[in-house]
A and B are shown apart, each in its own frame.
Chain A
């Protein structure tokens, strides 16, 4: 599973494990558990509401069969009671409905909040390997479109489904009590109903899974286009983008049409079964009344109940529809949640020893018998040992693909080594709490991503509790001050989407300011000065030297100017460290670095 075959894995990522339906149910169970009390209260209210609402035809039957004949004889009390009872249960039912809606609204939203947060936290916990394999659009679709599906079901349909089922059960009981022979006619309709539902469930689950998968592809394409809109326009990619959206969307449409037509068949056949049953009940009922085996009020109640018995079927169909869509969505979410990060926080973290002194905060880094490969793939870094003493500045040099970035990803614990240990001041990185690790070791990368918010917010990522003065001091230290002063609101300027307003050099300075604010023991720079002009780069370097004096630093840079501030140079090739020494000594030698350095010297003015 090297990243080289990612294109194939991509489709694989969409394939769900075989027991995914069970996992999704387990997820739902775990989400509901904290709200057991509320759910029970809700169930009670719904049950009472149903009871109240199914009782009303009883009062109708009472009014017609008992009240009316007696009223004809001059006694209106029975009629009064029947009508009074009817109004009473109606009001109770209304109150129950009101309460149940509020309860379900609150419960559903609490569960959605928990699910959103859980997915968000889990996504953040997942290792970089997972993120590098998965596209951002796919995770976005989990959190947006799939969440919406689940919310639709929880917020709108769960109650419908529960009350429909409850109503049908109550009505079944009442029908038996009213006239069990007529009730048998009604129940006969159940047999085809069960078969239809079974069949629909099977086909619809597959159909809705297809809609979730295809809409995710649409989202991925949409996110990619809008993220790269500059290039889209500059290279006139619009017709191509349009075609691609069309073809992705056509698949989504076809999946949707199939799912919706499946619903049509299901809805049509349940309705047909209900209506045929109704005609049968009327025929049999009328015959019974004529033969005087039952009363006319009972027949009236039966017909009324039947409407209500099969009426909720519509809602059930709708719910069934949303349920299938929601469970397909929940499966996708469960699949993300069930992915265990390969880089995990320890259960019993070890604390780092105290800093040696306030101004000598560097720490020693030690690689012992470290080997690294992606999964079972070929070794990217064959077994090696390396010790970087506290306070040393090391420059990492080598061609693209030599393994420099991989090595520093082990230092920042973006990946864990396949064998051996990476330790800081003798503590294995895997034994450090994430917070402690991140306080101690900080990396600045070539791509400086800005989050939405102000420039100050973005610098503050280095240390959220920093004061405005500290944020500005960090900005000043890296030479961002003059540029920020030109912006409309200074440090309070919004960086807008994807930081479009700052040049890439300025964004890199923001990244540096973050690192300064973070005040780490070990700083890792991965091509962090690539977009800077020479004076800015020098300013940053001199700031590095003063602000981070005594810190341990690992610097990857193509421009060998960086090397001038390094105490030690490591030259890498094909995953191995082939040269290791003081810069001056290496330059004077005849090795790879001496050659590189000469070439670089020549390229300067």
Chain B
């Protein structure tokens, strides 16, 4: 319940509108309660007195009430449509935005499908609830209470019957509530697992097809989907009790009203008209009572959805500006670009094992340092620390002597340009994708960057050149082409600091050669950390550092290291390859 109440600030902003919605809901329901009373009036008045002319007034009233009710209904839905649809997207925007700023480490701890189901399914649930469930759940008890009061005024005995009916109902609701909450949470979480599996099965389709593992992933999917089926069936079983109860109890009350009413007519303490009115009223009250079952399960699902939403929203930002926030566009300062690692240790957030230990390096402005190391030695982790995708576990990284944690996060990220090992392009044009590295760059700069990455030729050959849409929703490019675009994005605008993670792994030898020649010229302008697997790449560097099992074991120029470091010779394939090869 608390999780739903936390939406209060949003509701308060639209409180006048939402109150109108509730008032209209309540009004429409309450006003229709008058119809049975008017009916009793007709029976005991014009009909009893055989006076046709006296009929017009109550009939006009019934008609008037009918019109008002219909207009109220229409009005409620018209108004609610806008408000709740806006809330749905506002809340989704918030959860999306929170996720955008949460660190990579936090993202790693969530399955991607769980996030999707929270942002989509849960938001739809909340929208439906605020449109329909919430105003009804607020107004229905009032309608029922009002009905009982009207009934009591009409005939106290009838009122007593209604109250007696409410007792088993409340007891049932309490039991139902607890169980339904459990199932509802299980169902929504399972939906998240389903999303994850679907996402994987589509994104990993090549692997699955290459190994013919469709039957295996299908089995996995069937298992989770059968699990969901079981939960949903349990929910349906709970519903069956609730709905059978809400249907039976008001009717039993009706039977009681007829029995007691008949006795009253016989005993002379009530009239036929009152009994008819009483029965009609209970009949009218039945609709909100029967709805209670639905409203309750809807409310419970919404509480769960809201709780899942707040779980994301309550996750603290762990990588932020010094003041705890994250400024999108902090003022920029000039840096000379000294990059320093001071006794850096790093372990991934969910383990005590350290991936990097005691790493100390200093890269001077304009210097290029190549980082080499075996698979899994921690190179990519080290590179991720510079733009603070992860934070160091101990020690510090400094730029021009300032701890990078002291810099506004987005100033650091503007200062440090990166290209990842696996190039990620966005669904946008080639120009947009390249410009991301230096927002505001002109077309000439884009072409210059594309030239350096030797991507200009193939971009020119694309159907719409620079304006060709690429990324997931656009043209699919080969691995080498994507990597070169990512490289262009990194080098555009001559960044002060450049972090390149194996930038040419997927590029063919011919092209690699040419890219390297061009890179060599621009690298002088930037302080560069480049991760390399190949001698050709390390040859670009002024200095090379060798990473082995999370520690720097040697630094020096390529030639020096070839002479002095056996690890380096191994890595570069320079030590008697015959040994390895057979």
Contact = CB atoms under 8 A, between A and B. Distances in A.
B351 to A, nearest CB: 5
B508 A400 contact: yes
A93 B250 CA distance: 12
B59 A503 contact: no
Given A264-B74, A296-B43, A442-B211, A504 B436 contact: no
B560 to A, nearest CB: 13
A105 B211 contact: no
The prevalent SS among residues of B at the interface is helix
A107 to B, nearest CB: 10
Contacts of A350: none
Contact of A527 (B109, B212, B479): B479
B509 A559 contact: yes
Interface in A85-142: 86-87, 90-91, 93-95, 97-102, 104-106, 108-110, 112-113, 116-117, 120-121, 123-125, 128, 131-132, 135-137, 139-141
Given A117-B221, A260-B81, A87 B255 contact: yes
Given A6-B475, A86-B254, A437 B212 contact: yes
A93 B202 contact: no
A216 B250 CA distance: 43
A238 B97 contact: yes
Please indicate which of the listed interface residues A83, A256, A278, A412 has the most CB atoms of chain B within 10 Å of its own CB: A256
Interface stretch (B145-153, B171-179, B413-421): B413-421
B353 A532 contact: no
B240 interface: yes
B244 A486 contact: no
A405 interface: yes
B562 to A, nearest CB: 6
B74 to A, nearest CB: 3
Contacts of B580: 535, 538-539, 542
Interface stretch (A34-42, A66-74, A355-363): A66-74
B146 to A, nearest CB: 17
Contact of A105 (B218, B237, B244, B413): B237
A23 interface: no
B264 to A, nearest CB: 11
Interface stretch (A171-179, A193-201, A268-276, A376-384): A268-276
B99 A226 contact: yes
Contacts of A125: 214
A85 to B, nearest CB: 10
Interface in B47-67: 47, 50-52, 55, 58-59, 62-63, 65-67
A279 B66 contact: yes
Contacts of A71: 262, 266
A48 to B, nearest CB: 14
A541 B255 CA distance: 86
Given A236-B328, A496-B109, A560-B509, A121 B73 contact: no
A586 interface: no
Nearest to B63: A279
A10 B536 CA distance: 40
B468 A449 contact: no
Contacts of B215: 435
B85 A253 contact: yes
B525 to A, nearest CB: 20
Given A267-B73, A275-B65, A483-B375, A451 B217 contact: yes
A558 B512 contact: yes
A12 to B, nearest CB: 13
B498 interface: no
A97 B259 CA distance: 25
A405 to B, nearest CB: 7
A225 B112 contact: no
A600 B573 CA distance: 14
Contacts of A286: 42, 46-47, 55, 59
Contacts of B565: none
B213 A140 contact: no
B509 A596 contact: yes
A67 to B, nearest CB: 7
Contacts of B217: 124, 451
The prevalent SS among residues of A at the interface is helix
A249 interface: yes
A239 interface: yes
Contact of A245 (B69, B92, B203): B92
Contacts of A276: 63, 66-67
B505 A604 contact: no
Contact of A542 (B70, B216, B427, B581): B581
Interface in B259-307: 259, 262, 265-266, 272, 275-276, 279-280, 283-284, 287, 294
A498 B112 contact: yes
Contacts of A192: none
A506 interface: yes
Interface string A223-243: 111111111111111110110
A113 B511 contact: no
Nearest to B97: A242
A315 B89 CA distance: 27
A450 B376 CA distance: 16
Contact of A497 (B74, B108, B247, B413): B108
A366 B533 CA distance: 36
Interface string B17-56: 0000000000000000001000100110011001110010
A557 to B, nearest CB: 9
B291 to A, nearest CB: 9
Interface in B176-235: 191, 194-218, 221-222, 225-226, 228-229, 232-233, 235
Interface stretch (A299-307, A422-430, A576-584): A299-307
Contacts of A121: 214, 218
Interface stretch (B6-14, B114-122, B393-401): B114-122
B573 A267 contact: no
B177 to A, nearest CB: 18
A476 interface: no
A149 to B, nearest CB: 9
A242 B47 contact: no
Interface in A276-312: 276, 278-279, 282-283, 286-287, 289-290, 296, 299-300, 303-304, 307-308, 311
A205 B205 CA distance: 33
A596 B191 CA distance: 52
B413 A234 contact: yes
Interface in B64-85: 65-67, 69-71, 73-74, 76-78, 80-82, 84-85
A91 B247 CA distance: 9
Contacts of A566: none
A331 interface: no
A472 B566 CA distance: 29
Contacts of A531: 375, 421, 502, 505, 533
Interface in B424-456: 424, 426-427, 436-437
Please indicate which of the listed interface residues B52, B225, B437 has the most CB atoms of chain A within 10 Å of its own CB: B225
A487 B510 CA distance: 38
A229 B100 contact: yes
Contact of B210 (A400, A445, A542): A445
A259 B120 CA distance: 18
Contacts of B92: 218, 245, 249
A535 B571 contact: yes
Please indicate which of the listed interface residues B351, B375, B437, B511 has the most CB atoms of chain A within 10 Å of its own CB: B375
A222 B262 contact: no
B116 A223 contact: yes
B258 A60 contact: yes
B105 to A, nearest CB: 9
5 contacts: A98-B240, A109-B229, A257-B81, A300-B43, A434-B214
Given A224-B473, A401-B478, 18 more contacts: A4-B475, A97-B247, A105-B239, A110-B229, A229-B107, A233-B101, A236-B413, A245-B93, A253-B89, A260-B131, A269-B74, A290-B50, A443-B210, A449-B207, A462-B211, A500-B107, A534-B534, A538-B580
